[in-house]
Amino acid sequence: MRTIRMLRLSLFLAVCWAVSSCTGTCAGDTTSTSLTPKKFISLLGGFPEKPPLAGKVLEIEEFPKYTRKLVEYTTEGEERIQAFLLVPRQIRDKVPGILAIHQDGGSRPYQFGKSEPAGVAGDPGLKYGLELCLRGYVVICPDRFPFESRSLANSRFKETFDDFPLFTRIQGKDFDLTENLYRGCVANRLLFKGRTYIGKELFELQRAVDYLCAQPEVDSKRIGVIGHFAGGFNAALLMYVDPRIKAGCASCGTFLIHSFFGGNSLRPMSGLSAVNVVPGLKKWGDVDDILAGLAPRPFLETRGDFAYISEEEQAGLAAKARARYAELGVPDRFEYVPYDGGHVFRKDMREKSYAWFDRWLEAE
């Protein structure tokens, strides 16, 4: 029975990838083959109109050095997002704001979202939102889809997907993939509407920045973004499409989409990697072009071991960015730091990332 279910999932994801790869190649736009933020947004299917945030504070908890607020705001239509807002105590002047984006993680179902970078639950080595708050930054940690408050278990589709449970066994541990099926169905529905899953992610993260910038303690001209793995991937892409982001840090985040979809083979994948295709991107570039397009804004990537990407691909990923930053006379604003240590955000690398924000956002 599990084998049949896994075959169903593999077939579904293959169809999802095929549809994504064949949709929306921007016919008629042949004036340039250089990727730009405007072109990238069009490949994503564009962004919807922004409704009022209608922000609401749901809970407040006071700690000796900071205040943690559970907040909620509108992303689009009637969809609401919950986030933790972390505010240092005794702020005198406006301070920089940081968007801390959580990872996908290796556990299923998707249990931890905003709580992990906020230091509430999850991996204690990934509480980078809380650690940045304790350095003096106002930090927002939103729930990405479909995590924590936005999980399948909390959705109106729970009973529907209860009839299609999907499991596999990896290294002696049962792995529930039902939420991956849910995620893929949402991705396909977006494709039907001419949009993309990654476009939805980036728009929602922009709304988090909107909420962050609206806080009275935040200097909206000094905004940074940080994330691990899928959070780091989103951090780089968000910085590319949102000029409000003045500095960024990614841990084990970026990779060439070509590495997953560019060859003649398919890799069985779950999580963001399975739904991050941007239709027609191959014609215009890849993530290395996006990294180069961040210049001259400061960007740091620290990377532990990651099985999906070879050393050659890692070197190629950073090459264009290094050249572009050097061309603009600001080579010190881009760093790509590989290290041995596993697929983690090691403490010394977290400290390096925080110092990066201290340097470029001038936190006091």
Whole-model pTM over 0.95: no
Q: What is the pLDDT of residue 256?
A: 86
Alpha carbon distance 227, 217 (integer Å): 22
Local confidence pLDDT in tens for the 364 residues of the chain: 443 344 344 434 433 433 333 333 333 333 446 999 999 999 999 999 999 999 999 999 999 999 999 999 999 999 999 999 999 998 989 999 999 999 987 667 788 999 999 999 999 999 999 999 999 999 999 999 999 999 999 999 998 888 888 888 777 777 788 888 899 999 999 999 999 999 999 999 999 999 999 999 999 999 999 999 999 999 999 999 999 999 999 999 898 888 777 776 666 666 666 678 899 999 999 999 999 999 999 999 998 876 666 777 777 889 999 999 999 999 999 999 988 877 789 999 999 999 999 999 984 4
Alpha carbon distance 129, 140 (integer Å): 7
Residue 72, C-beta contacts closer than 8 angstroms, at least 6 positions apart: 55, 56, 58, 80, 81, 82, 83
Structural domains of the chain ordered from first start: 35-151+195-361 (3.40.50.1820)
Q: What is the pLDDT of residue 172?
A: 78
Q: What is the pLDDT of residue 15?
A: 36
Alpha carbon distance 338, 20 (integer Å): 31
